[in-house]
Amino acid sequence: MTASTEQDRDHAFPMLMRALKLPAFARYADEVSQEAEKEGWSFRQYLRHLAELEIEERRQRRIERNLHDSELPGEKTLATLSRARLPAKVQKMLPTLCDGAFVERGENVLAFGLPGRGKTHLACAIGHELIQRGRRVYFTPTFALVQRLLVAKRDLVLEKELARLDRFDAVILDDIGYVQQSREEMEVLFTFLSERYERLSVIITSNLVFKEWDKIFKDPMTTAAAIDRLIHHAVILEVTGTSYRTDEAKKRAEPATTTESAE
């Protein structure tokens, strides 16, 4: 084999790897080859290292794609969550929820509390962690999901829309308590919850306790049926404490108050 033939094959290697959809192989082949020669790796070790790089890059691309598709608020992560403000029981349960075993079992997470207690941030933080662990998550205000389903029903494609939502291991319904539905709106929301029952997870935040859910579903029988499906396999979180927004407003006002007093 001539030197030019060897060089031609070396130049063709990256193209071959891209054709096989192995971009990390193509990108790192030379760099890893030099390290392999320096460390005395076997050919098997060389290939294994390239394969590990390829797998890690694919994992990162999948996470980035799933994060984009999730529509989760980027700032509401576990790192920015004030865990010290959460009730002790919620703090204790948080690591287990972030691990995502409840998703494998098709269980739900229901977070209750007054406005401003951090329910949305808590739900989003769990969602971000699930994505890091390879899960698909979708975040939506409840009213937006209801409108989306109403449009699908009007266009006679409700089943297809529900099937699209089935691609997500967990759907976060934010502020279900703010949705005061007409009967038609209530029906599509109930249909969505029923379709996911015992198959796929929902994470719900609500400022209304269960006894007030007749404001959401109107009909007592439908309300009871919705609650029954949600709590059959569910973790219930009670998020208490003072309002984040009120506390922040007080902090912002303190310097001004101090200055005024000094004057």
pTM of this structure:
0.82
pLDDT, position 146: 94
* Residue 64 pLDDT class (50, 70, 90 cuts): very high
Query: Residue with structure tokens 């449009």?
Result: 151
Residue 59 scores a pLDDT above 70 = yes
Residue 13 scores a pLDDT above 70 = no
The answer to whether the beta carbons of residues 110 and 239 sit under 8 Å apart is no
* Residue 36 pLDDT class (50, 70, 90 cuts): confident
Q: CA triplet 98, 104, 106: central angle to 5 degrees? A: 100
* Residue 261 pLDDT class (50, 70, 90 cuts): very low
The answer to whether the beta carbons of residues 213 and 142 sit under 8 Å apart is no
Structure tokens belonging to residue 106: 């098709």
pLDDT, position 231: 92
CA-wise closest residue to 72 among 33, 129, 29, 113: 129
Residue 89 scores a pLDDT above 90 = yes
pLDDT, position 34: 86
How many Å apart are CA 111 and CA 15, to the nearest integer?
Answer: 51
Residue 43 scores a pLDDT above 80 = yes
Task: Kindly give, in sequence order, each residue whose CB lies less than 8 Å from that of residue 135, ignoring residues fewer than 6 positions away.
Answer: 66, 100, 103, 169, 170
How many Å apart are CA 121 and CA 58, to the nearest integer?
Answer: 28
**Higher pLDDT, residue 67 or 262:** 67
The answer to whether the beta carbons of residues 244 and 85 sit under 8 Å apart is yes
DSSP 73-126: -TT-STTTS-GGGS-HHHHHHHHHHHHTHHHHTT-EEEEE--TTSSHHHHHHHH
The answer to whether the beta carbons of residues 185 and 222 sit under 8 Å apart is no
154-168, 180-194, 216-230, 245-259: which has the minimum mean pLDDT? 245-259
How many Å apart are CA 132 and CA 35, to the nearest integer?
Answer: 30
pLDDT in tens, 195-239: 999 999 999 999 999 988 888 887 889 889 999 999 999 999 999
